[in-house]
C-alpha cells in the first residue's frame, strides 16, 4: 500500500552503509526455531537499497545529535526544477537503534518551509505489539493520517492498518498484512487491501513470497493490482547487485531495473548505479571526507528517451 511519503532519513539508505551490523538477519537462526520474518514493507528493502536515489540540485544536510535520544537535522535544498526548500527534522528516540524491541516511544517530525508536516509516532506497547501513527500534510491540508498495529509472533508477523478514515465522507482504507516463516529461508504471506469510498468499495489481495539464502534474496509479490519481483545478490564484500521487475495492471506498464552498489571502505566511497527499461541511467557517488565529519554526494540521472539530464550535489555534515 505504501503511499506514505518517505521520511528524509528513513533507515537503510541514508545510514552510512558501513555499519558494524551484519546484513539482514533473515537467515540467522535462533536456537533452531524459525525467525521472525520482519514487516511486510521491508520485503523488497534489501534490493531497493542497492539502487541510487534520484538526486537533483544542491542539498545540504546538517545533522546534530543533541543528546542520546534527541536528534535534529536541517536540510537546505536548492533546485532548478522544483521549488527550493528548507526542512527541519527532529527525532526523539530512546536509543539510536530503534529497530531493537524496547518499550519506548519514538517520535519523528519533519517540517517544511512551505508548511508541510510529516509526523511519525512509533510506540512499543509490549514486546510483541507495536503501534504506529503517521500524519502527513501538504501545506495546510492533511493528505495522510493512518494508524497501524503490528503483532510480531515467534515466526510470523501480522499487521492491520487503518488509513485515512474519514467519517463524514464515509471513506477508509483498511490494509491487513500477514507474513509467516515457512522454513528457514522461505517466507510466505499476503496483503489484503479494502478501500471504501462514498460511491465505491473494493478489495485487492496480493500474495507475497520471499526466499533467502546467505548471499541472495528473491522476493515476489503477485496480485490483481500487479506484480513486483526483486532479486538481491551479494557478490562479495564490495559488490551488491539488485534486479527488480514491476508490473502494474492499473497503469498497464512494466519496468525492469538493474542496479549495483560498490563499496570501497579504504577509499571511504560508495557508488550506486542503475539502468532501467525506461532508458534511465543513473549513478550516485558518496564519499566520506575524512577527517571532517562530512559526506559528499554527487549524482547524475539521464533519461535517454526524453533526453533529460539531472545533476545533483549534496553534502551531509554530522
| Contacts to other proteins by CB under 8 A | 57-58, 78-80, 84, 298, 300, 302, 308-313
CB neighbour list of residue 304: distance below 8 Å, 6 or more residues apart = 279, 280, 281
Closest Cα partner for 147 from 129, 134, 166, 128? 134
Which residue is listed with cell 550535489?
313
Q: What angle do CA 205, 209, 210 make, to 5 degrees?
A: 150
Closest Cα partner for 123 from 104, 99, 95, 98? 104
C-alpha cell at 231: 532479486
Q: How far is the CB of 83 from other proteins (least distance, A)?
A: 9
Q: How far is the CB of 85 from other proteins (least distance, A)?
A: 12
Q: How far is the CB of 240 from other proteins (least distance, A)?
A: 25
Closest Cα partner for 312 from 82, 60, 58? 58
Q: How far is the CB of 269 from other proteins (least distance, A)?
A: 12
Which is nearer to other proteins, 76 or 158 (by Cβ)? Answer: 76
Q: How far is the CB of 301 from other proteins (least distance, A)?
A: 10
CB neighbour list of residue 173: distance below 8 Å, 6 or more residues apart = 1, 161, 162, 163, 164, 193, 194, 195, 196
Which is nearer to other proteins, 39 or 268 (by Cβ)? Answer: 268
Which is nearer to other proteins, 76 or 90 (by Cβ)? Answer: 76
Q: Beta strand 57-67 with 308-317: parallel, antiparallel or unpaired?
A: parallel
Q: How far is the CB of 57 from other proteins (least distance, A)?
A: 6
Query: Distance between CA atoms of 315 and 318, rounded to whole angstroms?
Result: 10
Which is nearer to other proteins, 167 or 267 (by Cβ)? Answer: 267
Q: How far is the CB of 260 from other proteins (least distance, A)?
A: 20
- The 10 Å Cβ neighbour count of residue 41 is 14
Alpha-carbon distances, residue 77 vs 4, 5, 86, 200, 225 (angstroms): 21, 17, 6, 40, 35
Which is nearer to other proteins, 222 or 311 (by Cβ)? Answer: 311
Which is nearer to other proteins, 176 or 315 (by Cβ)? Answer: 315
Which is nearer to other proteins, 98 or 301 (by Cβ)? Answer: 301
Amino acid at each position: 500500500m505504501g503511499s506514505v511519503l518517505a521520511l528524509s532519513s528513513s533507515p537503510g539508505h541514508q545510514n552510512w552503509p558501513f555499519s558494524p551490523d551484519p546484513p539482514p538477519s533473515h537467515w540467522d537462526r535462533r536456537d533452531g526455531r524459525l525467525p521472525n520474518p520482519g514487516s511486510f514493507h521491508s520485503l523488497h528493502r534489501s534490493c531497493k537499497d542497492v539502487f541510487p536515489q534520484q538526486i537533483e540540485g544542491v542539498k545540504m544536510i546538517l545533522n546534530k545529535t543533541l543528546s542520546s535520544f534527541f536528534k535534529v537535522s536541517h536540510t537546505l535544498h536548492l533546485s532548478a526544477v522544483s521549488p527550493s526548500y528548507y526542512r527541519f527534522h527532529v527525532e526523539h528516540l530512546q536509543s539510536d537503534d530503534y529497530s531493537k524491541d524496547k518499550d519506548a516511544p519514538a517520535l519523528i517530525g519533519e517540517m517544511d518551509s512551505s508548511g508541510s508536516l510529516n509526523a511519525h509516532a512509533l510506540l512499543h506497547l509490549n514486546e510483541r505489539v507495536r503501534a504506529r501513527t503517521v500524519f502527513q500534510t501538504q501545506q495546510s491540508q492533511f493528505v495522510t493520517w493512518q494508524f497501524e498495529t503490528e503483532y510480531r509472533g515467534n515466526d510470523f508477523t501480522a499487521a492491520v492498518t487503518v488509513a485515512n478514515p474519514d467519517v463524514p465522507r464515509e471513506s477508509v482504507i483498511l490494509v491487513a498484512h500477514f507474513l509467516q516463516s515457512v522454513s528457514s529461508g522461505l517466507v510466505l504471506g499476503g496483503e489484503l487491501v479494502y478501500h471504501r469510498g462514498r460511491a465505491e468499495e473494493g478489495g485487492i489481495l496480493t500474495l507475497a513470497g520471499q526466499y533467502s539464502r546467505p548471499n541472495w534474496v528473491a522476493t515476489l509479490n503477485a496480485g490483481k493490482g500487479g506484480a513486483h519481483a526483486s532479486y538481491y545478490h551479494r557478490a562479495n564484500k564490495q559488490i551488491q547487485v539488485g534486479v527488480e521487475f514491476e508490473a502494474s495492471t492499473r497503469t498497464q506498464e512494466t519496468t525492469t531495473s538493474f542496479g549495483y552498489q560498490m563499496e570501497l571502505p579504504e577509499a571511504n566511497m560508495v557508488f550506486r548505479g542503475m539502468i532501467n527499461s525506461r532508458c534511465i541511467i543513473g549513478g550516485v557517488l558518496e564519499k566520506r571526507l575524512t577527517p571532517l565529519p562530512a559526506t559528499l554526494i554527487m549524482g547524475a540521472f539521464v533519461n535517454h528517451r526524453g533526453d533529460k539530464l539531472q545533476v545533483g550535489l549534496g553534502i551531509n555534515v554530522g
